[in-house]
Amino acid sequence: MSSQILRPDETAPEQGGLAPGDSVPGSPVPGGPVPGGSAPRLVRGNDYTVLDPPELGAFPPSLRVSVVVPAYNGQDKLDLVLAGLAAQTYPEALTEVLVVDNGSSPPLRLPEIRPAGTRLIVCEVPGRANARNAGLAAATGDVVHWLDSDVVADRHEVEAHMRWHHLAPYLVVTSYLRFTTAPLPAPEVVRSTADLGGLFEPAEPHEWLVDLVRRTDGLTANPGRAFSLHVGGATSVGRRLIETAGPMDEELFLGQDTEMGYRLAQAGAVFIPEPLARGFHLGPSMRMRDKQPIDRVSHALIGDRIPQYRWLRAHPARQWKVPYLEVVVEAAGYEDTRATVDAVLAGTVPDVSVLLTGPWETFEPERRAPLTDPRLDLALIRGHYAHEGRVRFAPTAAERVAPFRLCLPAGWVPEEDTLAKLLDLAVDDGHGLVGVLLAESPDGLATARLERRAAFARAALVLAPPASAGATGAAVSWPAGAASGERAGDAIGDAIDDVVDEVYGALWVDGEKLGFVPAAQAVAAKGRRMAYRARLETEAEVVKLTKEVERLRGQVGKWRDEAGRWRKSAVDLRREVGGLRREVARLKAGRLRTMIKRISVRRGVPAPSEPLNGPAASAGGAPGAAADVERANGTPPTGE
């Protein structure tokens, strides 16, 4: 298979942008050379299936990889891990292995069977994150490959990772691990065995990871959760991504891998599960042994740092280290700025912070004649929010890891639920940019922008100049200045927006329909006490209406019972009427026969039940008998 890319003599689609999965015409190759010399295709969301990695052994490798192995004791297992790395098919000249001894007793040593470029580093500060950061600081590769000291990699494992990293600089690749309890073989056996399954099977899969991949169609169906794939057992990360995201959080003692995965996602990462990269974990994992205690500790810590885990942030009011939404407002007039900031803080999105941009570092208020100070409003703004924990002051849109950022001009006020509706538009449809048209005037357009951090970081990586092979490259961050409207050149800003549209999608909406209004038209936000009382009144009304509904349901039940009785009475009445009709018919017929019989006896005419040729008939009957019969039947006799 070959990648469907635009050749230099081809043009982009006529719609004015690239189709999802297309390459960037004329763009440099990020991260290193791509097989065939073509630019990488753009990945939309986490749909890495548009990339076409080469077959194993079918591409010329050029990127260096640093395998970082943090270890604490377990020399026998470390010997097997290094023996597995010594048998890798990826070029040894492009591989370095950094073993970080995190205070083992006795100290770890490098065994005889190991890759040529193996170094031993000592990190005395205990902790998984500290050990990894020590290895990261010493790493020189274009790609950093985390590998636990009890994971023996299949001989193609590193190459299976690196074939992806040659395509783009923003990829995170994870191996498929199997957990074995088989007896430990000798290191020389591991190095010489082509298929490790013969040594370590039967083994159990990483059920949680396999289930996550299955439920998300290979992580392509739910890009917001793809970062959970970043597990430290056997994961590789592009160096430029790490420089953007930063090292592991040393404050955490559990959940470091997941937290770093979140920051890698915000740096623009695409997460890839690679079934050709296999490894065997020697023994069950810590989570397999103590899942509930680990979840208890991990959830207590990472909830403060990962806004995407909404179920860990159920509290209606408290603040978190990393907010879900950061609203950037450029300080202007005091009244307008205060109206905007107060409305943001009083909305239905409690997981929010505000960044006020302005010349705060060089600003000093006038103290002798403050009322004549031309920058009095800045002094009022800073004084008003100086002790509000949710408001920060910075000269520009300083970098944070909130997944969403809203750039809102001062003087525009969102209604109570406006920010929640705006976030729903971005989250539900996966947009990287939601533009809001606030007003149009002869001076231009007033707009707001909701930006998805991961989308803009991905766009910056796509547009950044490539790092030379063997170099670490430059860190790329969310474009500063976009928040305040002072973007670094319209051409650069438009280019970033175009790429964001391709990799995540963009949408423009009417601000008035969402509930943005000028400050002069805004309704004062309700205080918490008022909202509390309104909620109590609403709850009381709900209880009252619920009781009324139950009463009406009971009344309806009575009416149904009464209607049933009426239906039964109607059926009985119809039966009685039918019986009466039959009785009337019977009585009429009986009275007619009785009358005829009487007339017949009196006149000598036989009754209808007697034969007409009886004795009376033979005697000729009495004169006038026929007339009597006719009168009885209601017809006049003949001759009358």
pLDDT digits (tens, 9 = 90+) for 292-308: 888 888 888 889 999 98
Helix axes 256-266, 291-302, angle to 10 degrees: 40
The answer to whether 626 and 599 have CB atoms below 8 angstroms apart is no
Would you say how long the chain is, in residues?
640
Between vectors from CA 380 to CA 377 and to CA 382, what angle results, nearest 5°? 110
Residue 624 has pLDDT above 60, yes or no: no
Report how far residue 634's alpha carbon sits from residue 637's, in angstroms, rounded to the nearest whole number.
Answer: 9
Place of tokens 């955490």: 252
Read off the pLDDT of residues 349-376 as tens digits, 9 standing for 90 and up: 999 999 999 998 887 878 878 888 888 9
| 352/326 Cα distance (integer angstroms) | 6
Mean of per-residue pLDDT scores for the chain: 83
pLDDT at 59 over 50: yes
pLDDT at 6: 26
Instruction: Give pLDDT tens digits for 118-177.
Output: 999 999 999 999 999 999 999 999 999 999 999 999 999 999 999 999 999 999 999 999
Say if residue 487's pLDDT is above 60.
Answer: no
Looking up tokens 């990020």 gives: 30
Nearest CA-CA partner of 58 in 166, 152, 146, 133:
166
Residue 48 DSSP class: G
Cis peptide before 111 (omega within 30 of 0): no
What is the per-residue pLDDT across 5-52, written as a single tens digit (0 to 9) for each? 222 233 333 333 334 444 433 333 333 444 444 455 789 999 999 999
Parallel/antiparallel/unpaired status of strands 391-394 and 412-414: unpaired
> What would the pLDDT profile of 83-93 be if each residue is shown by its tens digit?
999 999 999 99
Helix (H) or strand (E) holding 42: none
Tell me which residue of 233, 244, 300, 241 sits closest to 70, measured CA to CA.
233
Q: In sequence order, what DSSP letters do the residues of 66-119 get, joined into one string?
A: EEEEEE-S-HHHHHHHHHHHHT-SS-GGGEEEEEEE-S-SSPP---SSS-TTEE
pLDDT at residue 609 tops 60: no
State how far the Cα of 409 lies from the Cα of 413, in Å rounded to an integer.
9
CA distance 296 to 317: 22
- Give the C-alpha distances (Å, rounded to integers) separating 403 from 229, 261, 414, 428, 478: 18, 13, 20, 14, 11
- CA–CA dist 137, 140 (Å, integer): 8
Residue of higher predicted confidence among 14 and 54: 54
pLDDT of residue 24: 39
Q: Give me the percent of the chain exceeding a pLDDT of 70.
A: 81
Cβ-based neighbour number of residue 130 at 10 Å: 20
Q: How confident is the model at residue 412 (pLDDT cuts 50, 70, 90)?
A: very high
User: Which pLDDT value is given to residue 355?
Assistant: 95
pTM: 0.76
Residue 628 has pLDDT above 60, yes or no: no
Residue 237: its pLDDT value, please?
97
Confidence grade of residue 533 (pLDDT, cut at 50, 70, 90): confident
Q: pLDDT per residue over 245-300, tens digit each? A: 999 999 998 889 999 999 999 999 999 999 999 999 999 876 667 778 888 888 88
pLDDT band at 469 (very low <50, low <70, confident <90, very high): very low
